[in-house]
Structure 1
């Protein structure tokens, strides 16, 4: 007790007597009264010389920074100056879609064991993370004018692909997430890079906030093998669609699979099953820096509205989806393949989609059909059945890897000749090859991706058809764990979906994207 009182007294004297510029102070204690003094006197015994701890620590930090600057040894790959737990936090954030229930304070892959005590509040378990993507697009050649014979090259996957465009924000995401209890997890993600189109043809407004995800995972077992996801989240159809844009190598998702669920999300209920050994395999891949698609179960089923992201439901029917995927460690084939993982799966969905209608006009203005005419020809208030099946196969790059996905189906689509929406078939997919190079001024993943699609783009008015053939060659450079750069060249042949005449345009585009992650 005496020692505690003496410590408090010393801190009080230090706080009051040491000026910011003082280097140290001599302290004395009266052997009879136990009072502290800053100068010698009768019956006073010297305790010693004392310094302000914060000043000393600040001076050491300043000296360390100065020494690194003078020596020239500090590089972007040098992470010694980071907090001791930064590696854990960054690895945790990359793996959050695989296993969101990991305690960064306990370790990257240590399951969080929540306390159930009066002192443990739910808001103490809420975490923040996010990322920003800034792009630069430049059209080297191609159709850029916007006439009947020369339509402008546009992409539904990247609004920055157009004439008179330079820098854009592709994504500005902030994620709020955490375990409210051992059986309940929440996830909320807004995006601050949404573009609001001017319907009158004027300039669009940029950087509006939009809700992307807002869901809760309700766990039915302690091992988290069975769960219900309720809210707005990704619809489990395809593999690349489920992969976070923060982790994806190519700049954009493929059109063929994404056309099934534009913006990847909808409001509904989903049930997932992931056995423990598969959870561990996906965690291990993430720990090695592999870009998984996240834990959407080896089996998943769900129902959802079907009108796509942030749109009101427009009919009484719902979409039904079934998802399956399984990762195989190829070590069972040969010891030399141990650690190589091949993931394969298949998905299917069925539902009824109600289109929106808009005016249709050809480039030369010879045909001008109103949205009401298209609606009347197609059937007022009519729903159009959409059914698809998809398959995927992914060999994670260790160091060579590939991805391939394809889907087939039928849906309503606009027939331009008779201004009528009719049932039609669709098909398309992509193939991607990549190679991972580690620890050479950061990590590198060169890749090449080819995609094709013939089918409907239901997110636009009148459910127009689109044709896509695209070759993309690029490289991702992980400069450090918080900073990535992707550069690529693309040769595009695309239907211009940003006008009502749907002309086909072809061109060459250079793109670069800088991504910074925050944890």
Structure 2
């Protein structure tokens, strides 16, 4: 693990002291979601002070989940904490993003969230870092680049797709349970040809719900304890991903494969008194997934499935064990443009059986869920989403054994983009 991290840092070193000899460099790619370093022209950069290259954007999401609710005990801790009993009008996200191209080969991205709530607290709207990283281009066009800092882990298309862009209100349980908040501290090497980097950017800017530019090939090492959490053992996780957006006639499809491996360390504050666990508190944490996306022109289809092993509570033995997991989702969508407005009706089904290592006692889950919704964009600054959810969830830890909940609810979200 240490060798892979050192190798990424050594690759970046030569780029710091170099300026491209050819001053006619391609223009910067448009960066709307998860932007990455693509060099602007050297002449343009020379005319600017560094602070003139810095931009600000963001978005806010307000939700209400209690309409037509049939079971207040139906909840999803990882999805939306305002689900169920005592839930009300809720800020799901308040993001302010600062980013910029400081040098033809140096790009930075800083994204705090101001809708965070510390665990166990009744106070909300705390600021917390989501992304804080910089990219170092290893060649004149940053086709190879190293990313250092806290950023999204290249595992799962929907995990990497921004919540500002996603149709369903929450990410699927099956792949999102791999990396809570989708992020961690790490070092990553990304590669993609300039033409494909431009395609990744257009899949977002053209309203096709792309994931952003995480390269055709991604390799990296990360702590494995998730964002804003201290490392708990001496081993890094390693991850690899391969994904390519093919242009076939007027359609674009993007198949992908990804996998990671490491050991996850449970923390004492997530254990119930009386639950049994491995003396070292370290568990195998391995997953592999396949992705397929047909971008909505106008009909869209998106599906992912993953398998693996990880910590999970076993009610039969009152213990946390390394167990197998599997699950995925499929989404069908349609894009309709009427005047200056856009409509995206969608249906998503998901299934997951396995543990959620970040929750109490690595809580055990069995999820079957159907969601029917519509994203309406009356203006580019405003999005409105009603989504009807039909759900069956078994989620149990040492304190809540046998907890199975079924129900239906209508969820509403208003999103402001700026």
What TM-score range do you get, normalising by the shorter chain? 0.7 to 0.9
Instruction: Give CA-to-partner distance per residue, 1:75-111, whole Å, 9 cap, x none.
Output: xxxxxxxxxxxxxxxx9553x4356648xxxxxxxx4
Counterpart-to-counterpart distance in 1, 2:396 and 2:90: 20
Which residue in 2 is equivalent to 1:419?
Answer: 318
Give the secondary-structure state (helix, strand or coil) at the position aligned to 1:257. Answer: helix
Give the secondary-structure state (helix, strand or coil) at the position aligned to 1:124. Answer: helix
Tell me which protein shows more strand as a share of its residues. 2
The Cα shift of 1:356 comes to: 2.3
With over 3 angstroms needed to count, the CA separation of the structure-2 counterparts of 1:112 and 1:160, relative to structure 1, is farther
Which residue in 2 is equivalent to 1:341?
Answer: 252
Give the secondary-structure state (helix, strand or coil) at the position aligned to 2:198. Answer: helix
With over 3 angstroms needed to count, the CA separation of the structure-2 counterparts of 1:154 and 1:303, relative to structure 1, is closer
Instruction: Give CA-to-partner distance per residue, 1:217-268, whole Å, 9 cap, x none.
Output: 0000111110000000000001000001111111111010000111100001
Which residue in 1 is equivalent to 2:416?
Answer: 516
**Mapping 1:202-281, distance limit 5 Å:** 204-281=122-199
2:58 to 119, 130, 142: 130
Which residue in 1 is equivalent to 2:118?
Answer: 196
What residue ranges of structure 2 are gaps of 5+ in the alignment?
1-28
2:105 to 183, 191, 206: 183
With over 3 angstroms needed to count, the CA separation of the structure-2 counterparts of 1:414 and 1:498, relative to structure 1, is closer
Which residue in 2 is equivalent to 1:7?
Answer: none
The Cα shift of 1:460 comes to: 1.1
Counterpart-to-counterpart distance in 1, 2:322 and 2:148: 32
Equivalent residues of 2:144, 2:190 under 8 A apart: yes
Instruction: Give CA-to-partner distance per residue, 1:36-84, whole Å, 9 cap, x none.
Output: xxxxxxxxxxxxxxxxxxxxxxxxxxxxxxxxxxxxxxxxxxxxxxxxx
With over 3 angstroms needed to count, the CA separation of the structure-2 counterparts of 1:141 and 1:485, relative to structure 1, is closer
Counterpart-to-counterpart distance in 2, 1:197 and 1:304: 23
Counterpart-to-counterpart distance in 2, 1:442 and 1:193: 29
Give the secondary-structure state (helix, strand or coil) at the position aligned to 1:347. Answer: strand
With over 3 angstroms needed to count, the CA separation of the structure-2 counterparts of 1:174 and 1:487, relative to structure 1, is same
With over 3 angstroms needed to count, the CA separation of the structure-2 counterparts of 1:342 and 1:98, relative to structure 1, is farther
1:453 to 336, 352, 374: 352
Counterpart-to-counterpart distance in 2, 1:162 and 1:274: 43
1:173 to 74, 78, 95: 95
Give the secondary-structure state (helix, strand or coil) at the position aligned to 1:438. Answer: strand
2:309 maps to 1:410: yes
Equivalent residues of 1:410, 1:423 under 8 A apart: yes
The Cα shift of 1:277 comes to: 2.1
The Cα shift of 1:276 comes to: 1.7
The Cα shift of 1:412 comes to: 1.9
**Mapping 1:307-456, distance limit 5 Å:** 307-330=225-248, 338-357=249-268, 370-371=272-273, 373-374=274-275, 377-440=276-339, 442-456=341-355
Counterpart-to-counterpart distance in 1, 2:244 and 2:362: 34
Instruction: Give CA-to-partner distance per residue, 1:353-405, whole Å, 9 cap, x none.
Output: 01124687xxxxxxxxx53x43xx42323310111110000000100010000
Equivalent residues of 1:469, 1:492 under 8 A apart: yes
Give the secondary-structure state (helix, strand or coil) at the position aligned to 2:316. Answer: coil
Residues matched between the structures, number: 389
Instruction: Give CA-to-partner distance per residue, 1:86-140, whole Å, 9 cap, x none.
Output: xxxxx9553x4356648xxxxxxxx4546464x6321221111100011111152
Q: Report the TM-score, using the length of structure 2 for normalisation.
A: 0.88
State the Cα RMSD in Å.
2.1
2:70 maps to 1:142: yes
Give the greater-gyration-radius structure (CA).
1
Which residue in 1 is equivalent to 2:399?
Answer: 500
